[in-house]
Structure 1
Amino acid sequence: MKKNILTIFTAIFFMVLLYSAFEMFVPAQNATKNTEIEIPMGATFRQAVDILSDQKLIRDKKIFLLLGRLTGADRKIRAGFYSIWSNMSPWDIFKIIRKGRIIEYEVKVLEGDSLLEIAETFSRAGIATYDEVVKISKEPEFLSSYDIEAPSIEGFVFPDTYMIPKGVKIEDAIGIMVDRMREKYSGKLIERTEKMGMTETEVLTLASIIEKEASVDDERTLISAVYHNRLRKHMPLQADPTSIYGIKSSKEKITRSDLQRKTPYNTYVINGLPPGPIASPGLKSIVAALTPADVPYLYFVSNNDGTHKFSVTLGEHEIAVRSYRDKKKITDG
């Protein structure tokens, strides 16, 4: 009798096992099509299973729920859009859900990128339109929510590679980038900022100019020193990249008329720092803005090879400028 009962239980066990294997490893559909499933923010694992069932991607919800309970996947589920093929097995779908493999867009912000270039990157990725990014980045309410005391988020977006989830609000996507900057610009850097009597906006503004001027890392603190020395002597910074900010791309040639144009950012026509950054500075430029080299330089000009010639007096600088122009004539042929 006991032997018969054991046989029956064994048979039932294997039937359940076979049924579970069928339900988890055999696709619920034969057709091959891609479906985007949205798991709303705050949804439970059970609600996610209901969504999968409604889309006919799984057959038996109870087995899916049991698997979630056994693996702990039911404790937390990542909201977002999931890309699922209809011919996937429920087991493959379960792994995607458990690992939180939502649809994400890669957004790369490079050192020296301006807000306009960042907006173009968002647009290419399909996250938001160019105009939407520019508009939100200048809204006073949005700036206030992140304690940004500047005309826009320019300079407050840290250069990095970001994975932005599909469906995320543009404000939140930009906020992720601002938060990354604040993660990097913290601790001793903030202490140094306070010690120098500067504000966060002033440091990022100076760092952004250094970022646009420096090609060689070793020169960042030297360029920083030039601008600090000029600020101390109340001399115009005369930083070429500021003359075209908001006017044309930094990749375009800067002309004499650009240097003479009256804008709030052109340091050839204003004294002191511009009202805000002109690009996204990297950490090296932020550090350089806070740790200028102990040198008396007031001028620098390109050597036409990525490096610069630094000078203390105007006379030395004029000689360096003539040398630069002669080299350029030879290079241009």
Structure 2
Amino acid sequence: MLKSSKMKNNVKLITIAISLLFLSYIGIQLFVPSNKGGKQIEIEIPEGATYKQAIDILAKNNLIRDKNLFMIAGRIARLDRKIRAGYYVFWGNMSPFEVLKKLKSGKIIEYEVTIVEGDSLLEISKKLAYNKIMPSDTFNSLIKDKGLLNSLNIEAPSLEGYLFPQTYKFAKGAKPVAVLKLMVNKMRDEFNSELKSRAKELGWSENQVLTLASIIEREAKIDEERPLISAVYHNRIKKGMPLQADPTAIYGVKSNKYKITKKDLRKKTDYNTYVIKGLPPGPIASPGIKSIIAALYPAKVPYLYFVAKNDGTHYFSKTLIEHNAAIKRLKTQRLKVQNSKLKGSDTLALSEG
């Protein structure tokens, strides 16, 4: 009897000891760092990699010890069903449990880039390169690639105007084609079925709408004037008049940050609407949704001309006589402002003297 009771106690003690050893082992394997250094470790989980393949990568980088235990932990956390591909940053002193949590969060290295309304491919190329998303030479080779354009059903000379302006987050190592496709898809999400129906009603193609919208984007400074500027161009198209949109004169010739000269307006290019009839072959910049809507819904006004004031707004006119009168008024106002500035500087000089 005593022997039997003693044996039972011994079995219990052994069981407890084994359990404690097992729990200690799990604790060490999950909560004690595998790599004792504090060095930053960057690893890539490739697209399409299984959880087992990810574990192998972690083990090779000395971030975990027991692969089988990590596999079980991943199943409990349901991480084995889906793991986000990309580049992860770990520290050598992170425990395997912390590594597991980071994988579960899917927090990969991402680069942020903001494309603003009116950006051309030139500006977009610089931004993508600066933010380490895509080298300029790769970008420049893809934007006119016929295979890519055809795959995206784009009937235009390039991707100009098709890369929607907004703030994007791209994963490190993202494929250049995938980056561009995402931006085009975002444009088509915004250019929704309702707007497509409106374009069909007008008898306009996607490319024509985006082309006019890009011109509006480059001309308009305030939202209220977008439908008015659109109306001017719609009215001119109906009358068979050249659009004479200043921004088209320098597209592909020089940056839109430079001042447009009379010499620019006379240059013969495929985009210069002072020398060609109708719309250019494609957009000249990335239009925002407000300009796309304005291109599709012009104001019901008879204007055929507009000229910029000094405050970001424009004078709109129905006839050339009215337009010339508006230009004359503006020149007179500018002369008055210049004269008043000169008088002010003379007075200041005399007072200082």
Across the aligned residues of Structure 1 and Structure 2, the Cα RMSD in angstroms comes to 1.5
Aligned to 2:345: none
Shift >6 Å, 4+ stretches: none
The residue correspondences of 1:255-266 to structure 2 (distance < 5 A) are 255-266=261-272
Of the candidates 129, 134, 138, which is equivalent to residue 140 of structure 2? 134
Aligned partners of 1:79 and 1:187: how far apart in 2?
A: 32
Counterparts of 1:195 and 1:9 in 2: how far apart (Å)?
80
Please, which of 191, 194, 201 is the counterpart of residue 188 of structure 1? Answer: 194
> Residue 154 of structure 1 aligns to which amino acid in structure 2?
E
Q: CA deviation at 1:172?
A: 1.2
Relative to structure 1, the CA distance from residue 314 to residue 29 in structure 2 (aligned partners, 3 Å threshold; closer, same or farther) is: same
- What is the aligned counterpart of 1:273 among 279, 288, 313? 279
Question: For residue 304 of structure 1, what is the aligned residue in structure 2?
Answer: 310
TM-score, reference length from structure 2 = 0.91
Among residues 168, 179, 184, which one is paired with 1:178 in the alignment?
184
Identity %: 53
Distance 1:199 1:325 in 2: 39
**1:52, CA displacement in angstroms?**
0.3
Match status 1:201 vs 2:216: no
Query: Structure 1 residues 19, 266: CA separation in 2 closer, same or farther (over 3 Å shift)?
Result: same
In structure 1, what is the Cα distance between the partners aligned to 2:247 and 2:17?
Answer: 79
1:328 and 1:64 map into 2 onto residues whose CA distance is 74
Shift of residue 100, structure 1, vs aligned partner: 1.5
**1:117 maps to 2:149:** no
Distance 1:308 1:51, change over 3 A: same
Hey, what does 1:32 align to over in structure 2? 38
Asked if 1:77 is matched to 2:92, the reply is no
1:313 and 2:319 matched: yes
Work out the CA distance in 2 between the residues paired with 1:102 and 1:330.
Answer: 59
Output the amino acid matched with 2:251: Y
In structure 1, the residue matched to 2:171 is 165
Matched with 1:88 is 94
- Residue 311 of structure 1 deviates from its aligned partner by 0.8
Shift of 1:80: 1.5
Secondary structure class of the residue paired with 1:273: coil
- Determine whether 1:327 maps to 2:333: yes
Q: What number of residue pairs does the alignment pair up?
A: 333
| TM-score (normalised: structure 1) | 0.96
- Amino acid across the alignment from 1:166: K
Deviations 1:44-100 (A, max 9, x none): 101100110011111111221111111111101111111222222212211221122
1:18 is displaced (CA, Å) by 2.9
> C-alpha separation between the residues in 2 aligned to 1:106 and 1:231?
40
- Compared CA separation, residues 328 and 143, structure 1 to 2 (3 A): farther
Measured after TM superposition, the shift of residue 179 of structure 1 is 0.8
Q: Which is further off, 16-25 or 109-118?
A: 16-25
1:217 counterpart = 2:223: yes
- How many Å separate the matches in 1 of 2:37 and 2:68? 24
**Which of 103, 114, 134 is 2:109 aligned to?**
103
- Alignment-derived partner of residue 348 in structure 2: none
Which ranges of structure 1 fall in alignment gaps of 5 or more residues?
none
1:116–1:134 CA contact under 8 A, matched in 2: no
Q: Would the aligned equivalents of 1:301 and 1:324 in 2 still touch at CA under 8 Å?
A: no
Instruction: Determine the C-alpha separation between the residues in 2 that align with 1:262 and 1:148.
Output: 25
2:293 equivalent in structure 1: 287
C-alpha distance in 2 between matches for 1:138 and 1:253 = 27
